[in-house]
Structure 1
Amino acid sequence: MQVLDSTIANVSLTTIAGNLGVSSDNSTWVITAFAVANGVTVPLTGWLMGRFGVVKTFVVSVTLFTIASFTCGIAWSLTSLVVFRLIQGGVSGPMIPGSQALLISIFPEARRGTALGLWSMTALVGPVAGPILGGYISDNYHWGWIFLINVPIGLICAGASWHFLRSRETPSHPLPIDKIGLFLLAFWVGSLQVVLDLGKNADWFNSPMIVVLSILAAIGFIAWIIWELTDGHPAVDLSLFKNRNFALGTAAFCLGYALFFANNLLLPLWLQQQLGYTATWAGLVSAPSGLVAVICTPLLARLGGKIDMRWLATFSFVAFGFSYWMRAGYTPDTDFIHFTLPLLVQGVAMSVFFLSMVSLSLDGIRPERVPSATGISNFARITGGSFAASLITTFWDRREALHQSRIVDATSLYSPSFTNGVHQLQTLGLNEHQAQGAILRQVVGQAYLLSATDLFWLCGWTSFALIGLVWLARKPAAVNGPVAAD
Structure 2
Amino acid sequence: MANPWLVGVVLALSNFMVVLDISIANVSVPHIAGSLAIAPDQGTWVITSYSVAEAICVPLTGWLVARFGTVRTYLVAMTGFGIFSVLCGLSTTLGMLVACRIGQGICGGPIMPLTQTLLMAVFPPQKRGQAMGLWAMTTVVAPIAGPLLGGPISDNWSWHWIFFINIPIAIICVVGSFFNLRNHETPTRAAPIDVGGMALLVIWVGALQIMLDIGRDHDWFASDMIKALAIVAAIGFIAFVIWELTADQPAVNLRVFRHRGFSMSLLSLSLTYAIFFSAIVVTPQWLQGAMGYTATWSGYVVAWQGLFAVVMSPIVGKLVGITDPRRVYSLGVSWMAMTMLLRANWSTDVDYWHLAVPHLLLGIGMPMFFVPVTMIALAAVDPAEVPGAAGLQNFARTLSGAFGTSIATTMWQNGAEQQRAELANIINPAMFEQQAAAAGLSAERMRGLLEQLVMGQGFALSLVHIYQVAAALLFVSATFVWFAPRPRGSPAAGGGH
User: Is the structural similarity TM-score above 0.5?
Assistant: yes
Q: Is 2:244 aligned against 1:233?
A: no
Match of 1:191 among 184, 198, 207: 207
Aligned pairs for 1:79-94 within 5 A: 84-94=100-110
- Which residue is 1:419 aligned to? 433
Aligned pairs for 1:222-301 within 5 A: 222-301=238-317
Say whether the 8 Å CA contact 2:328–2:372 is kept in structure 1: yes
Q: 1:29 to 1:445 in 2, by over 3 A?
A: farther
Q: 1:456 to 1:124 in 2, by over 3 A?
A: closer
Superposed CA deviations along residues 397-427 of structure 1, whole A, max 9, x for unmatched, are 2222222222223336x420x2245346x54
- Which residue is 1:383 aligned to? 399
Q: Is 2:491 aligned against 1:472?
A: no
Amino acid corresponding to residue 41 of structure 1 in structure 2: C
Q: 1:450 to 1:9 in 2, by over 3 A?
A: farther
Superposed CA deviations along residues 428-459 of structure 1, whole A, max 9, x for unmatched, are xx655444323322222222212222211111
Say whether the 8 Å CA contact 1:262–1:388 is kept in structure 2: yes
Superposed CA deviations along residues 4-36 of structure 1, whole A, max 9, x for unmatched, are 223434555676678777568x87665554334
Aligned pairs for 1:310-329 within 5 A: 310-329=326-345
Match of 1:443 among 439, 444, 454: 454
- Which residue is 2:53 aligned to? 37
Amino acid corresponding to residue 448 of structure 1 in structure 2: F
Q: CA deviation at 1:294?
A: 1.1
Aligned pairs for 1:164-179 within 5 A: 172-179=188-195
Amino acid corresponding to residue 328 of structure 2 in structure 1: L
- Does the residue aligned with 2:251 lie in a helix, a strand or coil? coil
Say whether the 8 Å CA contact 1:132–1:284 is kept in structure 2: yes
Aligned pairs for 1:27-176 within 5 A: 31=47, 33-73=49-89, 84-102=100-118, 117-127=133-143, 129-159=145-175, 161-162=177-178, 172-176=188-192
- Which residue is 2:5 aligned to? none
Say whether the 8 Å CA contact 2:336–2:365 is kept in structure 1: yes
Q: 1:102 to 1:196 in 2, by over 3 A?
A: closer
Q: 1:423 to 1:62 in 2, by over 3 A?
A: farther
Say whether the 8 Å CA contact 1:128–1:291 is kept in structure 2: no
Q: 1:407 to 1:75 in 2, by over 3 A?
A: farther
Amino acid corresponding to residue 352 of structure 1 in structure 2: M
RMSD of equivalent CA atoms:
3.1
User: Take 1:168 and 1:48, find their aligned partners in 2: how far apart are those partners?
Assistant: 16
- Does the residue aligned with 2:487 lie in a helix, a strand or coil? coil
Q: CA deviation at 1:347?
A: 0.8
- Does the residue aligned with 1:350 lie in a helix, a strand or coil? helix
Aligned pairs for 1:320-399 within 5 A: 320-399=336-415
Q: CA deviation at 1:61?
A: 1.4
- Which residue is 1:456 aligned to? 467
Q: CA deviation at 1:56?
A: 3.4
User: Take 1:71 and 1:125, find their aligned partners in 2: how far apart are those partners?
Assistant: 26
User: Take 2:266 and 2:332, find their aligned partners in 1: how far apart are those partners?
Assistant: 15
Say whether the 8 Å CA contact 1:134–1:283 is kept in structure 2: no
Q: CA deviation at 1:311?
A: 1.5
Q: 1:401 to 1:419 in 2, by over 3 A?
A: same
Amino acid corresponding to residue 22 of structure 2 in structure 1: S
Q: CA deviation at 1:365?
A: 1.9
Q: 1:455 to 1:122 in 2, by over 3 A?
A: closer
Structure 1: gaps spanning 5 or more residues: 481-486
Say whether the 8 Å CA contact 1:11–1:282 is kept in structure 2: no
User: Take 2:30 and 2:459, find their aligned partners in 1: how far apart are those partners?
Assistant: 16
Say whether the 8 Å CA contact 2:130–2:318 is kept in structure 1: no
Aligned pairs for 1:390-409 within 5 A: 390-409=406-425
User: Take 1:164 and 1:304, find their aligned partners in 2: how far apart are those partners?
Assistant: 27
Q: 1:86 to 1:272 in 2, by over 3 A?
A: farther
User: Take 2:384 and 2:343, find their aligned partners in 1: how far apart are those partners?
Assistant: 43
Superposed CA deviations along residues 26-72 of structure 1, whole A, max 9, x for unmatched, are 87665554334323211222332333343432232123222333444
Q: 1:81 to 1:379 in 2, by over 3 A?
A: same
Q: 1:183 to 1:198 in 2, by over 3 A?
A: same
Q: CA deviation at 1:231?
A: 0.4
User: Take 2:487 and 2:124, find their aligned partners in 1: how far apart are those partners?
Assistant: 25
Q: 1:154 to 1:173 in 2, by over 3 A?
A: same
Say whether the 8 Å CA contact 2:260–2:484 is kept in structure 1: yes
Say whether the 8 Å CA contact 2:262–2:377 is kept in structure 1: yes
Superposed CA deviations along residues 75-118 of structure 1, whole A, max 9, x for unmatched, are 66777655544432222022233344555666677876665554
Amino acid corresponding to residue 250 of structure 1 in structure 2: L
Say whether the 8 Å CA contact 2:324–2:490 is kept in structure 1: no
Structure 2: gaps spanning 5 or more residues: 1-16, 492-497
Q: CA deviation at 1:266?
A: 0.9
Q: What's the TM-score, normalizing by structure 1?
A: 0.86
Say whether the 8 Å CA contact 1:134–1:280 is kept in structure 2: no
Superposed CA deviations along residues 186-218 of structure 1, whole A, max 9, x for unmatched, are 211221223333333334333322222222211
Say whether the 8 Å CA contact 1:138–1:279 is kept in structure 2: no
User: Take 2:468 and 2:93, find their aligned partners in 1: how far apart are those partners?
Assistant: 36
Say whether the 8 Å CA contact 1:136–1:279 is kept in structure 2: no
Q: 1:455 to 1:138 in 2, by over 3 A?
A: farther
Amino acid corresponding to residue 104 of structure 2 in structure 1: Q
Superposed CA deviations along residues 161-203 of structure 1, whole A, max 9, x for unmatched, are 4467668755544221222112212211221223333333334
Q: CA deviation at 1:259?
A: 0.8
Amino acid corresponding to residue 433 of structure 2 in structure 1: T
